[in-house]
Amino acid sequence: MRSGRRRVNEKPKDLTSSLKKLFFFLKPFIIPIIIAVVLAGIGSICSIIGPDKIKEVTNEIMLGLTNEINMKKIMNIAIFLISLYLISFVLTYVEHFIMATVTNRFSKKLRDSISEKINKLPLKYFDTTPYGDILSRVTNDVDTMSQTINQSIGTFVSSLTLLIGSIIMMFYTNYILAITAILASLFGFLFMSLVLFKSQKYFEEFQEELGNLNGQIEETYTGHNIVKVYNGYDYETEVFDKINEKMFKSAMKSHFYSGLMQPFMGFIGNFGYVAVCVVGSYLALNGTISFGVIIAFTLYARLFTQPLSQLAQVATSFQSAGAASERVFDFLNVEEMKLEDKIKHLDKDKVKGDIEFKHVNFSYDLSKTIIKDFSAKAKAGSKIAIVGPTGAGKTTLVNLLMKFYLINSGDILIDGVSVKDLTRENIHDLFIMVLQDTWVFEGTIKENIVYNTKNVSDKKIKEAIKEVGLDHVINTLSNGYDTVLSDNEILSAGEKQLLTIARGMIKNAPFLILDEATSSVDTRTEEIVTKAMDKLTKGRTSFIIAHRLSTIKNADLILVLNEGNIVEQGTHKELLEKNGFYANLYNSQFESINK
């Protein structure tokens, strides 16, 4: 039921490397970020100046209780404060606008890089990594990073500015009350540091389990019909519950620790406020300070503890972003396929069509050799069938021919040119592939047929569809060739296979690979698909992998593989006369049918 993919052993997390990568992606946005940071700092300074002016108003009112109140001075201060807070509002708005623009562009750039990276990774990576985990890195982890940059950088700078400015203004106003407020809040700093250290590992676990959960969901719902048929609901639910439980525990612990910050910092703030009031009252009774200083200091105490609380929230966001960035940059640091120098190039319109395997050896890992000293020749225009039991190395040969994997030793020649001297793109341009799993994307029938092939006329499309016998089906659809294919299964499995054959005809390459192309269709549909494939193989050097040996009777050469070796080769008639491995395979199929 499971896809068989397992997580590759990830490299040890390198925080320095992640930070360098993050800086690389943020480098184009440094100037707007600096502008936003400066605006956030200036906005905080405006907030710091306010309490000092409120102190002057309070002192004026206190003097007015015994003398005449200077309304003109109070009005001037009031206008100054209104202007000050209005400027702070405008600066904060502009700062948020800049950061929103930066983070969206940052996310776009990061996703573009991930998309590029996916195209540069070897097939082996996708064979060993769940697709859902990759999707989680592209979506959830990138979103977490962008949200943190958007919400936390400005908050961090403004809070830090507010904190430092408040301390300066408190000492400027009265050093005794300043020391009182700082000592009362010092315990909050120590607690916050302890919580941050304790909770970081749980944030990392949460992001990792989120990727595992996405991988499990993707696999389960992709094979939802199989789950139903095999009554695998309980099993899949059990697997889901285990991953979900791990995710729940890591989320609960990380949120519990981070959730402690806000209320505890609130308590510290209130405690500092009370301490300032008590000490301030004592100093006021002794005539050391005025009543206005106490009012100003209560505001400064609030301004001092507020950024502590905000910094605690920012630290929590940074932890989530740190865990997410490590996962994203771990993916971006995965070893790519080696860059290829374009030594030679084959024009698909001029290729003759000869292919030769010369003493090819290959293994996915050192523990088991899949292909052993494989040698074979395919003449231009010939039809080569590759047969053998499961695990014999049939599909592996195709992967090597397409340069999805690099051979360990030996060589593969196309028209006498080694595949080592050709780029992957050049090789892929020479081949048409029709696989067992028909790949149809959400788009119109026309778009699916001409996929990545330019300057294709409607006439050529209709000719290809008529050639494979699918024209009557498309003509019955309401929108014809403009009918959108989606998950609603407009076409049957056999019709989709015919569509992929028509796609191959449109591409018109000199080589053709048919990998179990009829294994998922019924016998009647198989006849239709086989006829269409016969038209597709005409004039092309074709490699046909088939379990149903009746479909390759007319092959020019049949290669019989077993455990990575060619045990027999020849035509269908010659191999039956030998009464060897191939004859046993062929006869066993008919015996099972007769039974």
Lookup result for tokens 């479909």: 551
Write out the DSSP string of 230-298. Answer: TT-HHHHHHHHHHHHHHHHHHHHHHHHHHHHHHHHHHHHHHHHHHHHHHHHHHHHHTTSS-HHHHHHHH
Tokens standing for 79? 């206008």
State the maximum Cα–Cα separation within the chain, in Å, rounded to a whole number: 125
CATH-assigned architecture of domain 15-332: Up-down Bundle (1.20)
Q: Which residues contact 302 (CB under 8 A, 6 or more apart)?
A: 269, 273
Angle at which helices 291-332 and 30-64 cross, to 10° = 170
CATH code linked to domain 355-594? 3.40.50.300
Q: Answer yes or no: pTM beyond 0.95.
A: no
DSSP state of 338: P
Helix then strand count (H, E) for the chain reads 19, 12
Domain boundaries, the chain: 15-332, 355-594
**Each residue's pLDDT tens digit in the chain (595 positions)?**
334 443 433 444 455 566 567 777 777 777 877 787 777 777 767 666 666 666 565 665 555 555 666 677 777 777 877 787 788 788 888 888 888 888 888 888 888 888 888 888 887 788 777 777 788 788 888 888 888 888 777 777 777 777 777 777 778 777 888 888 777 777 666 766 677 677 767 777 777 787 778 777 777 766 666 666 666 777 778 888 888 888 888 888 777 777 776 677 667 767 777 777 788 787 877 777 777 777 777 777 777 777 776 777 777 777 777 778 888 888 888 888 777 766 788 888 888 889 998 988 888 776 777 788 888 888 888 888 888 887 777 888 888 888 888 888 899 999 989 888 888 888 888 988 887 777 777 788 888 888 878 888 888 888 888 888 888 888 888 788 888 886 555 777 778 888 888 888 888 888 888 887 666 566 666 677 777 777 778 888 888 887 777 677 788 888 888 877 788 888 888 888 888 888 888 887 655 444 4
Integer angstrom CA distances of residue 516 from 427, 433, 519: 21, 11, 5
